[in-house]
Amino acid sequence: MKQTLLILPLLLPLFTAMSTLLLWNQPRWQRLVSLAGTSAHLASVITLLVTVYRSGIQAVNIGNWPAPFGVTLVVDLFSAVMLAVTGVIGLAVAIYSLGSIDTRRQAFGYYPLFHVLLMGISGAFLTGDLFNLYVWFEVMLIASFVLTALGGERAQMEGALKYVTLNLLSSAIFLAAVGTLYGVAGTLNLADLATHILEIDTGLVNALAMMFLIAFGLKAALFPFFFWLPAAYHTPPAAVSAIFAGLLTKVGVYALVRVFSLIFIQETAFTHTVILVLAALTMLIGILGAISQRDFRRVLSFNLISHVGFMLLGLAFFTPLALAGMILYIIHHMLVMTTLFLTSGLVYRLQGSYNLPKLGGLYRSQPLIALLFLLPAISLAGLPPSSGFWPKLALLRAGLGQGAYLVVGTAVLMSLLTLYSMIKIWNQVFWKADPDGKPSPKAGGHAWQLTLAPVIALTLLILVLGLAPEPVFQLVQKAAYQLLAPAEYIGSVFGGLY
């Protein structure tokens, strides 16, 4: 039963991808199978989260090969939470896609690629082995590269080339680091590495830590490796941009948290200080980029970069409060960024552009769309009592407790500038009059309802997270303590023998 529960988040997207591929010439059935597959995936990851919360960390060795020799799947509360939010976003984007993905893109394999991407993301959160993490990264890269270029428009191709080039560089560095680590440690199982890393020379460990920081930093869009993201995320359809913004960079963040809380923890005065500096620079550079943009999705893309830096403050401070705040911030950010990118797609559907100076007048003609932007925008800025306020408060308190006043000041400035960038979008898209004086846009029909429904659902979820954060905060506190006490993780992999 346990083995089935851990494998289902991989098997369901794989089966759905294969089914939609077989239904290539039947678009209606493709959509129905996609919806059923994402619903089943969400049910499986919610069940897994409940199991881990009640029964502790779950691990299974595929094929009954004992760790560290076989393929190991491990789920602690942190990875279970990431899987659960992935399931929510996957279903929301699948519903949105029903009304927004045109038949041309569907004919070129949108739905099979979408579910392969979900499988790769789920595999990255489930794996207990560094080499298999590399494999799941490559599965994600292949699917995401084709999704970025799907449609063949000039801007898409340009963004896709930048995206794949930088991510291939990241993969090369990752593979080099994995090979070197295996050469000196003789294992790539995360739990086994946590016990063997103490036997390796400290200087070599720090060098390997920096290689992994660069590899995962590229995937997470950490400074100075972020420049591929705003070049790529604003080019594909809104559904693709939304799932990229909500999930892909978070896989890089997850990988950083996993290795720097389980393996590279001997020299935290060095490694986590480097992370702290890079996180602060990411926050600052990202938000400065956001306020200078004139394209709806590029403003959101640079905000995404900036907030990656904010969530990595929790890893840098490395205290229970900081890690709990970080995990809560990741949950909030995954939901908020997905919602904002989906909302940008609604605006494009109404006015045919993402260029801010060309937009306007939607507050009067589409008050619901204005509200669906405003609520997650407030949350992104962290105004109380939104979903972004509570994790920011926890992270800032953790920073003040460690005397990191300059970094805390940078974080506060970033929050104010985030608010400014959201006000900029609000003024340009919703408040000012339409610059062309066109009649108020109207929308309706089945397709419009399908795109609107998941945005409303995600916005309500964001509201609940802000107004009733206590249950979720208790969950992330428990997850934080698991990260700080890796003995349970190691023991679950080795059958309690650690």
Checking if the pLDDT of 337 tops 50, the result is yes
Cross-strand pairs, 74: 59
238 band by pLDDT with thresholds 50, 70 and 90: confident
Stated pTM of the model: 0.93
Checking if the pLDDT of 321 tops 90, the result is yes
Calculate mean pLDDT across residues 143-151. Answer: 83
68 band by pLDDT with thresholds 50, 70 and 90: confident
- The amino acid occupying position 261 is S
Question: Out of 148-152, 180-184, 272-276, 418-422, which region has the weakest mean confidence (pLDDT)?
Answer: 148-152
Say how far apart CA 357 and CA 294 lie, in whole Å.
7
The pLDDT of residue 497: 41
State pLDDT tens for residues 459-469: 999 999 999 99
Calculate mean pLDDT across residues 192-205. Answer: 85
Question: Between 159 and 381, whose confidence is greater?
Answer: 381
The pLDDT of residue 312: 93
Q: What percent of the chain has pLDDT over 90?
A: 55
The pLDDT of residue 437: 64
Residue listed under structure tokens 């794996």: 127
State pLDDT tens for residues 379-409: 999 898 999 999 999 999 999 998 889 999 9
Say how far apart CA 23 and CA 233 lie, in whole Å.
29
State pLDDT tens for residues 402-461: 888 999 999 999 999 999 999 999 998 888 877 776 655 566 677 778 889 999 999 999
The pLDDT of residue 496: 47
Checking if the pLDDT of 56 tops 70, the result is yes
The pLDDT of residue 353: 83
- End-to-end CA, the chain: 24
The pLDDT of residue 2: 64
DSSP for 42-66, please give it. Answer: HHHHHHHHHHHHHH--EEEEGGGPP
Q: Give the pair of three-digit tokens for residue 115.
A: 């579910």
Say how far apart CA 34 and CA 191 lie, in whole Å.
35
Angle between the N-to-C axes of helices 320-351 and 470-484, in degrees from 0 to 180, rounded to the nearest 10:
130
What value does the mean pLDDT of the chain take?
88
H/E element, 75: strand 72-75
Say how far apart CA 247 and CA 240 lie, in whole Å.
11
**Which spans in 186-319 are helix H?**
190-196, 202-220, 228-232, 238-243, 249-262, 268-291, 296-317
State pLDDT tens for residues 95-129: 999 888 766 666 578 899 999 999 999 999 999 89
